[in-house]
Amino acid sequence: MPDGVIVKALSGYYYVKPIENGKAVTTEGQSAIQCRARGVFRNRGISPLVGDHVVYSLSDHNEGTVNEIMPRHSELIRPPVANVQFAVLLFSLREPDLNLPLLDKFLVHIEHSGLDTLICLTKQDLLEGEEIAKDDPITYVQELYERIGYEVIVTSTRTGRGREQLRERLAGHICVFSGQSGVGKSSLLNALMPSLNLETNEISMKLGRGKHTTRHVELIELDNGAFVADTPGFSQLDFLEMEVGDLSACFREFEPYAAECKFRGCSHLHEPGCKVIEAKDKGEIARIRYDNYVHFYAEMKDKKRRY
Q: List the binding residues for GTP.
A: 122-125, 179-187
- Give the H or E element holding residue 106: helix 100-113
CA distances, 32 to each of 27, 103, 273 (Å): 11, 34, 58
The dihedral through the CA atoms of 204, 125, 90, 293 has a sign that is negative
Identify any residues that bridge with 177 across adjacent strands, giving them in sequence order. 88, 230
3: three-class secondary structure by DSSP? strand
* Residues placed in the known binding site: 122-125, 179-187, 261, 266, 268, 274
91: closest CA among 76, 78, 102?
Answer: 102
* Residues placed in the known binding site for Zn(2+): 261, 266, 268, 274
290: closest CA among 87, 100, 117, 91?
Answer: 100
The CA-based angle 49-4-193, given to 5 degrees, is 80
How many DSSP H helices and E strands does the chain contain?
A: 8, 14
Identify any residues that bridge with 229 across adjacent strands, giving them in sequence order. 176, 219
Residue 45 DSSP label: T
How many angstroms separate the CA atoms of 233 and 191, rounded? Answer: 18
How many angstroms separate the CA atoms of 74 and 80, rounded? Answer: 11
List CB contacts of 259: < 8 A, sequence separation 6 or more.
Answer: none
Q: Which amino acid is at 23?
A: K
How many angstroms separate the CA atoms of 209 and 272, rounded? Answer: 42
261: three-class secondary structure by DSSP? coil
